């Protein structure tokens, strides 16, 4: 296994490794594109680990998981009194990543109004905390990732062209697993070893017909889905031969009318939600099965127009694991809302459906 932990030997995957080697030593911005679960975060980490900044922090921020109203203070930090509840000053992720790498995950979800602020910081390499006009120099290497078509978003006016060009200095596109099926046996063996060891099992072989079935399945959730499937299979196996429940793969198989990446993602999320009885959070919820933070899954569902009310379902069914909620009602326009908290700070969310 290579030192960066990335598994694969297909031509498409080797090209990605070459790109990592090429761009790691320089400070250029990198934009990683790829479907869900293709390894965008691990590739970002691998670039940092192979860069001269490796002794410093790799700081990740998921633009889809943090409420838009709080993203600015998360990125740039704030001074005492900058807003109600700001009792002590706090450094933002830019400062935390100083002399290291800042990973801006799901950059396509960065609200339009924040985009010029981010662009300015990237150009000037200095930030101002909320509630202060003092500039603080920062030396940060930026790696951004997205599973959206950012260029299409630029053309639709949803993403600023100037920021797009600033981030897209060195693009890396991760191939979906179905386009590098040669890598599946390698990945399967790697995950079988990993989970067997972790679960104290002695599985040492995968039957040929199992491997063939795994190679012919399209894996809409890519490596994450494969990894979760193998973890489940290892749990269910007694003895030394991997015995997965291959019928599960039929359940998820992509219907013929699925055409776009968004269609595949939507179909996969819906299939998982049906299995969990539309429970999003908690140990048996769809977020865990999909290997996503609950907030990311909800953000994705909203983006894909899945008109369930996931937050409320989670609150009702998993009270201990939901965001704190201290009120709910509806605005003058009739939009339902709920009070919630993020990192201890209150905000109001609109509730869909
Ligand atoms: N080449 C690889 N070798 C081994 N494991 C991998 C590889 N690529 C990804 N993984 C594993 O697959 C899982 C998903 O990877 P990662 O979180 O980086 O994907 P992602 O593209 O960021 O997904 P999302 O868009 O859903 O955030 C992780 O557990 C990661 O360790
Ligand atoms: Mg990711």
DSSP-assigned letters across all residues of 249-296:
HHHHPPPTT--SHHHHHHHHHHHHHHHTTT--SSTTSHHHHHT--HHH
Phi-psi map region of 200: left, alpha, beta (phi>0 left; psi -120 to 50 alpha): left
Q: Residue 320: pLDDT band by 50, 70, 90 thresholds?
A: very low
Nearest ligand to the CA atom of 46: 1
Residue 78 domain boundaries: 11-175
20 and 169 both lie in a single domain: yes
102 and 198 both lie in a single domain: no
306 and 324 both lie in a single domain: no
Is position 4 within any domain? Answer: no
- The CB of 222 under 6 Å from ligand 1? The reply is no
Distinct helix (H) and strand (E) counts, the chain: 15, 12
52 and 109 both lie in a single domain: yes
220 and 342 both lie in a single domain: no
The kind and range of the H/E element at 213 are helix 208-216
The kind and range of the H/E element at 170 are strand 170-173
Structure tokens at 255: 């219907």
Nearest ligand to the CA atom of 33: 1
319 and 255 both lie in a single domain: no
**pTM of the full structure:** 0.75
Q: Identify the pLDDT of residue 350.
A: 41
246 and 230 both lie in a single domain: yes
Average pLDDT (36-64) is 97
- Cα dihedral: 266, 270, 272, 273 (round 10): 130
Q: Identify the pLDDT of residue 104.
A: 98
Q: Using one digit for the tens of pLDDT, what is the confidence trace for 199-245? A: 999 999 999 999 999 999 999 999 999 999 999 999 999 999 999 99
Q: Using one digit for the tens of pLDDT, what is the confidence trace for 142-183? A: 999 999 999 999 999 999 999 999 999 999 999 999 999 999
Q: The CATH number of the domain where 221 resides is what?
A: 1.10.8.60
Q: Residue 295: pLDDT band by 50, 70, 90 thresholds?
A: confident
Nearest ligand to the CA atom of 265: 1
* Atom from ligand 1 closest to the CA of residue 183: 1
Structure tokens at 273: 């939600």
Q: Residue 37: pLDDT band by 50, 70, 90 thresholds?
A: very high
200 and 125 both lie in a single domain: no
Domain boundary among 124, 147, 175: 175
Indicate the SS3 state at residue 342.
strand
Which residue is closest in CA terms to ligand 1's atom 12?
224
Q: Distance between CA 307 and CA 65 in Å, rounded?
A: 18
Q: Residue 103: pLDDT band by 50, 70, 90 thresholds?
A: very high
Q: The CATH number of the domain where 164 resides is what?
A: 3.40.50.300
Q: Residue 132 burial by CB count (10 A; 0-12/13-18/19+): exposed, middle or buried?
A: middle
* Atom from ligand 1 closest to the CA of residue 223: 12
Q: Identify the pLDDT of residue 336.
A: 45
* Atom from ligand 1 closest to the CA of residue 62: 27
Q: Identify the pLDDT of residue 178.
A: 94
Closest CA to 231 of 276, 289, 292, 145: 289
Which residues make up the environment of ion ligand 2, defined by Cβ < 5 Å?
40-41
From the CA of 53, how far away is ligand 1's center (Å)?
Answer: 22
146 and 164 both lie in a single domain: yes
42 and 91 both lie in a single domain: yes
């Amino acid at each position: 296994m290579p030192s960066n932990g990335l598994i694969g030997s297909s031509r498409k995957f080797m090209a990605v490794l070459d790109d990592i080697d090429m761009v790691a030593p320089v400070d250029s911005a990198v934009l990683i594109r790829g479907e869900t679960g293709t390894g965008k975060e691990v590739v970002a980490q691998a670039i940092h680990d192979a860069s001269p900044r490796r002794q410093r922090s790799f700081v990740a921020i998921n633009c889809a998981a943090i409420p838009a109203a709080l993203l600015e203070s998360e990125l740039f930090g704030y001074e005492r009194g900058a807003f109600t509840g700001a009792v002590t000053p706090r450094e933002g992720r830019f400062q935390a990543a100083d002399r290291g790498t800042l990973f801006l995950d799901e950059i396509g979800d960065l609200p339009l109004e924040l985009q010029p602020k981010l662009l300015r910081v990237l150009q000037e390499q200095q930030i101002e905390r909320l509630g202060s006009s003092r500039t603080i120099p920062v030396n940060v290497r930026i790696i951004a990732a997205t599973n959206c078509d950012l260029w299409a978003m630029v053309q639709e006016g949803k993403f600023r062209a100037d920021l797009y060009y600033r981030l897209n200095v060195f693009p890396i596109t991760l191939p979906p697993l179905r386009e590098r099926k040669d890598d599946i046996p390698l990945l399967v063996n790697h995950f079988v070893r990993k989970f067997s060891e972790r679960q104290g099992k002695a599985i040492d072989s995968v039957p040929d017909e199992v491997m063939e079935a795994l190679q012919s399945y399209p894996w809409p959730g890519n490596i994450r889905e494969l990894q979760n499937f193998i973890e489940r299979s290892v749990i269910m196996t007694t003895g030394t031969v991997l015995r997965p429940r291959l019928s599960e793969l039929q359940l998820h198989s992509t219907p013929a009318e699925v055409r776009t990446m968004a269609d595949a993602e939507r179909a996969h999320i819906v299939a998982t939600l049906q299995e969990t009885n539309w429970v999003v959070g908690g140990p048996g919820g769809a977020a865990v099965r999909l290997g996503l933070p609950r907030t990311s899954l909800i953000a994705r569902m909203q983006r894909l127009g899945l008109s369930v009310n996931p937050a409320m379902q989670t609150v009702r069914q998993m009270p201990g694991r939901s965001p704190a909620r201290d009120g709910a009602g509806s605005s003058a326009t009739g939009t339902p809302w709920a009070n919630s908290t993020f990192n201890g700070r209150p905000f109001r969310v609109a509730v869909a459906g």
